Amino acid sequence: MKKSVLNDPRVMYHSDKFPVQKTQAEPALQSQMQPRPDCGEASYVGTGKLLNRKALVTGADSGIGRAAAIAFAREGCDVAIQFVPGEEADAKEVKGYIEDEGRQAFLLPCDLRDEGAASWIVHETVDAFGGLDLLVLNSAMQVAIETLADLPIQQVEDTFKVNVISMFESVQAAQKHLLPGSSIITTTSSQSFDPSPQLLDYAATKSAISNLTVNLAQYFADKGVRVNAVSPGPVWTPLQLNKGQLPGQLPNFGQGSLIGRAGQPAELAHMYVYLASDDASFVTGQIYGINGGTNINL
């Protein structure tokens, strides 16, 4: 029988249960995770799809944002990296990967809950790079709760500030800099379409992001700016170790997906590149699920 050249998606990445590990204090660091997420550091190979473009990626120190930032740099893009203060170690690693490609990297430590922070990162990126072509709004807050009674209203406010309100502010600040051909990419979630009770506030923000993405695509259409979203499912990122899962649930994280495992950030990088590039010139107002099989219905 001829040997297959195909790869079984069920075992291409980490497919076992995750080891028990301590919940990290905020902010959680990718460097302390076991196993470390695969963000394409050793595998992503660029082909110049984003040559000389200038990008701002929020939450780019780790996880999905990190994978997108590394991929963008290997496609020829300069990248500004927003991250929460305390995540400098992870952010400096990403900066190194970007500069290894001969591209500019710019670190932007700030908490998106702070007033004016979301517009500040846009202004700083434009000042550093002389423009802005790609805006990737990926930063997120996720804290699981046992019951509705356990959900502090302050947490609800903070989650909406980071996940939704900062998006409005960043887009408002960026719109005058986005020329025809620019692209805005948001990160929503399968929680937008299939919410979990332990993630009431997080799921609500992701639903808002899905709606906002489709709406912004209409707003920016006559300006030549495309707006799309990536919708991850269970992906192994530091978000899960910073109270993102209920106690005891982490070992089984992602095991219930149709593929039978959690995803890795590297598996999403190509979609961000596609949506940022001219390959997606006829694509706007779309939400792409990379989630192990969760159905998407807006």
H, E, C per residue of 179-233: CCCCEEEEECCHHHCCCCHHHHHHHHHHHHHHHHHHHHHHHHHHHCCEEEEEEEC
| Encoded tokens for 144 | 């699981």
Q: Smallest Cα–Cα separation from 132: which of 53, 34, 247, 239?
A: 53
Give yes or no for a contact between 255 and 217, defined as CB atoms under 8 angstroms apart: no
| Encoded tokens for 266 | 């590297």
For residue 135, what are the CA distances in angstroms to 145, 166, 226, 240, 254?
31, 13, 11, 24, 28
202 annotated active-site: yes
What is the rounded CA–CA span in Å between residue 88 and residue 61?
8
Instruction: Tell me which of 44, 97, 202, 272 is the catalytic residue.
Output: 202
Which residues on adjacent β-strands are paired with residue 135? 56, 184
Give yes or no for a contact between 240 and 189, defined as CB atoms under 8 angstroms apart: no
| Encoded tokens for 243 | 């109270």
Report how far apart the first and last C-alpha atoms of the chain are (Å, whole number).
Answer: 45
Q: Tell the burial category of 73 from Cβ atoms under 10 Å away from its Cβ (0-12, 13-18, 19+).
A: buried
What is the rounded CA–CA span in Å between residue 98 and residue 77?
9
Report, as residue numbers or ranges, the catalytic residues: 202
